[in-house]
A and B are shown apart, each in its own frame.
Chain A
Amino acid sequence: VAKTSLTSPPWPEMPKLPDPVEEAKYHAEVVQKVNGMISAGQYGRLFAVVHFASKQWKITSEDLIMMDNVLEAECGDRIRLEKVLLVGADDFTLIGRPLLGKDLVRVEATVIEKTESWPKINMRFWKRHNYQRKKIITNPQTILRINTIEIYPSLS
């Protein structure tokens, strides 16, 4: 029979997924390998994506973070950042759905500085109405230094 435009459906052919049993074996192998790599310490620098102060940050060890709000912690306090979304090294990444467990990752940070921002000028002006308002805003800021990111081989 000749092929017309309506012989086959407009979407491409059905995608074929690999066999679930084989897939499960492959997944278990991968998990074991990654666990082995973590416990053997065969990773270089780790980076993590952390949700903190209603923002997401991509951080590594020894880097500075500045947030535009007040943190109720004194300068020099060590803080543990929970809510880790992603941890990665050179050869593997651990993606959380949406968060990773607290027994898997540990991110430590220290509060370094609590200052105000540079004086930002907020001005409103309507022309021909003799209306102008000028306000100088200084937001409080906190600076954290990320000390370490550690992972533990507790995958399953």
Chain B
Amino acid sequence: MVVLSAARWLRSRLTDRFWRVQEVLKYARHFRGRKNRCYKLAVRSVRRAFVRSTKARREKKRFLRALWITRIEAASLEHGLKYPAFISYLVKSQVELNRKVLADLAIYEPKTFKSLAALAHRRRQEGFLAALGDGKEPEGIFSRIVRHHY
């Protein structure tokens, strides 16, 4: 028989609505209240959660850097140096350790951190002498710039 249109019993029906809803609800199962059960409320909460996690990934870097700085400050104050002095004189002595590693050393390798603090302190004294002594004394040993050829 010639048919010009689909018969009326062939309807386009959504058959996997359950799984589409579960895809969203699976991210909301640990939420509080009705938003962990009801789809309409869960959609909104899950969307906000995703957006917040993307923004938090950028803020995590700032937060961790502030944490490392606090820890290094605490450790250097134990050795009698303030954080700006410690970091600036370490950099002037050509020691390029970043804050993450310095914080780890301060926690797990106290003797190494003490030696780094002593290095910064000594470089600071040489800096003061160079500034106040007006060139009559010889240059400091730790202020020498080392040039390497690897």
On A, residues with C-beta under 8 Å from B are: 11, 14-15, 17, 20, 23, 27, 47, 49, 56-58, 85-86, 88, 90, 93, 95-99, 101-102, 120-125, 132, 134
A97 and B94 contacting across the interface, CB-CB below 8 Å: yes
A95 and B119 contacting across the interface, CB-CB below 8 Å: yes
State whether the Cβ of B148 lies closer than 8 Å to any Cβ in chain A: yes
Q: List chain B residues, Cβ under 8 A from A97.
A: 93-95, 146
Q: List chain A residues, Cβ under 8 A from B146.
A: 97
A-B contact pairs, 5 of them (CB 8 A): A15-B129, A17-B125, A58-B104, A95-B115, A99-B150
B109 and A132 contacting across the interface, CB-CB below 8 Å: no
Overall SS of chain B's interface: helix
Q: Within the complex, what minimum Cβ distance (angstroms) separates B135 from chain A? A: 14
Given A93-B115, A97-B146, A121:B94 Cβ within 8 A: no
A47 and B109 contacting across the interface, CB-CB below 8 Å: yes
The residue in chain A whose Cβ has the minimal distance to the Cβ of B133 is A14
Q: List chain A residues, Cβ under 8 A from B2.
A: none
A88 and B112 contacting across the interface, CB-CB below 8 Å: yes
CA distance A129 to B105 in the complex (A): 49
State whether the Cβ of B116 lies closer than 8 Å to any Cβ in chain A: yes
Q: List chain A residues, Cβ under 8 A from B10.
A: none
Q: Please provide the 9 A-B residue pairs with the shortest distance between their CB atoms, ordered closest to farther.
A: A123-B50, A98-B96, A97-B94, A15-B125, A56-B101, A93-B112, A58-B104, A125-B51, A97-B146
Q: Within the complex, what minimum Cβ distance (angstroms) separates A39 from chain B? A: 22
State whether the Cβ of B1 lies closer than 8 Å to any Cβ in chain A: no
Given A15-B129, A20-B141, A123-B47, A99:B148 Cβ within 8 A: yes
**Using a CB-CB cutoff of 8 Å, which residues 100-150 of chain B contact chain A?**
100-101, 104-105, 108-109, 111-112, 115-116, 119, 125-126, 128-129, 132-133, 137-138, 140-141, 146, 148, 150
B96 and A123 contacting across the interface, CB-CB below 8 Å: no
Sample of 12 further A-B pairs with CB below 8 A, known A17-B129, A97-B94, A121-B53: A15-B129, A17-B126, A20-B141, A49-B97, A49-B105, A56-B97, A58-B101, A85-B97, A93-B111, A93-B115, A97-B95, A125-B48
CA distance A47 to B109 in the complex (A): 10
Q: Within the complex, what minimum Cβ distance (angstroms) separates B50 from chain A? A: 4
The residue in chain B whose Cβ has the minimal distance to the Cβ of A82 is B150
A86 and B97 contacting across the interface, CB-CB below 8 Å: yes
The residue in chain A whose Cβ has the minimal distance to the Cβ of B145 is A97
